[in-house]
Amino acid sequence: MIRLNLVLLLAVLASAIYLVSVQYDSRRLFTELDRAKTEAHRLELENERLQVEKRAHTTPARVEKLAREKLQMSQAKPGITTYVTYAEAPPAAGQTPLPSSAATVSGVVR
């Protein structure tokens, strides 16, 4: 009888210790989950902010302004455009001649 009571007491103590351990792990995991959710929310907000910033940096007006100021680019105008045409070269032996439209080259000259 005493042995049975001792075995039962040890079983109750072991299950109590296991229960406390499981509850501790559960609380620890819940805390980690809450921290991870908070970090995910922060990262979502950061991503949205960066997307807005990206859209602001790629507006056509800003790109044009940077091209003018930093790269000293200007829009092509008829006054500064020179069209260059090359005479057709005679085809080499065994080659077919190019159509006349392929011999014309145009470009912008500054």
User: Could you give the C-alpha distances from 102 to 83, 86, 105, in angstroms and in order?
Assistant: 14, 10, 8
Assess if residue 51 is contained within a domain: yes
State residue 98's pLDDT score. Answer: 58
Q: 58 and 73 in contact (C-beta within 8 Å)?
A: no
Assess if residue 49 is contained within a domain: yes
Can you say how many angstroms the Cα of residue 80 is from the centroid of all Cα atoms in its chain? 40
Assess if residue 14 is contained within a domain: yes
Nearest CA-CA partner of 57 in 46, 47, 68, 65: 65
Rounded to whole angstroms, the Cα distance separating 36 from 31 reads 9
Structure tokens given for 61: 């007006």
Percent of the chain at pLDDT exceeding 70? 80
SS3 71: coil
Assess if residue 84 is contained within a domain: no
What's the domain count of the chain? 1
Assess if residue 40 is contained within a domain: yes
* pLDDT tens-digit series, residues 13-39: 999 999 999 999 999 999 999 999 999
Assess if residue 68 is contained within a domain: no
Assess if residue 24 is contained within a domain: yes
Q: Which of 22-26, 35-39, 54-58, 92-96 has the lowest mean pLDDT?
A: 92-96
Assess if residue 23 is contained within a domain: yes
Domain containing 45 equals 2-62
